[in-house]
Structure 1
Amino acid sequence: MSERAGFYDELSDEELLRYSRQILVQQIDVAGQLRLKNSRVLIIGVGGLGSPVALYLAAAGVGELHLADFDTVDLSNLQRQIAHDSLSVGQAKVDSAAARLKAINPLIKLQLQRTAMDQDSLGSAVAAVDVVLDCSDNFTTREAVNAACVANKIPLVSGAAIRLEGQLSVFDPRNDSSPCYHCLYGHGSEAELTCSEAGVVGPLVGLVGSLQALEALKLLVGFGEPMVGRLLLIDALGSRFRELRVKRDPACSVCSGTDQQVAHE
């Protein structure tokens, strides 16, 4: 296998066997698998959402995963954060997740960010990858990640889950018609809650995280229709899915100018 400045131009025999079931999918094939091998992805948060995201992207053969999380594993995390186990309690989440990912796929590369990032370091981290997955659990982080993605024109796959409700969307600043996170949510809710305050059911974050991983694969390989301009609403209580159309806000303070919210069903 040859490598030029970090770029791979072929798959090894081991990789062809490891990813054979995925390569059989017409929309991926060998060419798509090679694109995954040459891809870099940033995962913000390796908790409930970030766990399935990281596990599936590692298993799928994304060449380099950048994990960012300053938290440590707590016993209360284990009900839903499946990248960690009982022996991980007290460890940094990125270290616990890294051990699990390497056990699944030793062929991938990992970059670990164990401390909170400021605006400059976040911008640099976003600029270094092809796709960002926001798996955080607070509005402030989501806004900062969105701003960095807009500034660097990097696609953002955003997921959220609380109680028995989930949301998923893709924001692609390379597309002039794509809204950004701020177009949809503005300044957020005055009554913002986290999972530690409101609770969440484990399989729901697994569902949302798995969908985030799928959207990332579509963006990296270039197949299907990513959820740009669409918001998926998941009602786990009634097992119902609803989709809303979301338009770019021409007055958005992040991707356009000022600050308003526009969303159309």
Structure 2
Amino acid sequence: MRGAQANWLSDGRRLHLHHGPIDMIVGIEGAGQDAAFQRAAARFGTLLEELVAELPRLRSHYAGAVEGETARRMVEAVRPFTPEFITPMAAVAGAGAETILRAVLDGPGIRKAYVNNGGDVAFHIGAGEVMRAALASPVPGHVTLQHGDPVRGVATSGAGGRSHSLGIADAVTVLASGAAMSDAAATMIANAVDLPGHPAIDRVPACELSPDSDLGPRAVTRTVGALTAGEVAEALDAGRVYADRLVARGMVHAACLSLRGQCVSVGESFMIEERDPEHA
């Protein structure tokens, strides 16, 4: 495996960080951006090795003590879901984004910044600044966030995502105070969007698809066949009930759940604008 790489994207304003399975995009605005980009690249260079060193514990339901910065963020993000089944790996992308963002902010002159780790995003919004976060398809728009809003992380999960899901949601996008919590909560809400025992849903043990999966023998969704509009609504309602509980506990601020063209939202309302193709 090649070492960590940092390269500018074609626009010359965003940095692409790549190492093994990790791909991040970093955007920074402010007088201190040059030094901040350097800090991001330097911190990224050690990120994967730190995670690999603690993978056995991070793939465990009860992770126990961990040492790395990102590993600690992962464990803290999933802790509030106990005793439900969740491992720290449910927060790995969001926690990684937070770690790089922390390096970006470890210096002056940053007005606005974000770290996008495969769609799970941690961001900083300075006083007077505005950030637009694109919602996952099929939701046609962006959420506009300001300095005073409590959201600093957005993440998306679902049966069609990079990781396996116990549910059938096409996408669940969560806004929370940080990217690690957004990541973990999106995973859990997407698991709750489900129709247990439905014959049109094909499930297989996660370990058959990925031998080293943290989900082990638990049945994950492989394909979803035909569903009636009523069944779609029923599955989304199950997810909505679970998401409402997380909002009531203050774990997330808002969530948007989608399945087969139907969408439901919970939590706080943020300004949603029509999707701009240039920023989609």
Q: TM-score, normalised by structure 1?
A: 0.25
- Return the structure number with greater strand share: 2
State the TM-score, normalizing by the size of structure 2: 0.25
Which structure shows the bigger proportion of residues in helix conformation?
1
Higher RCO (C-alpha 8 Å, min separation 6): 1
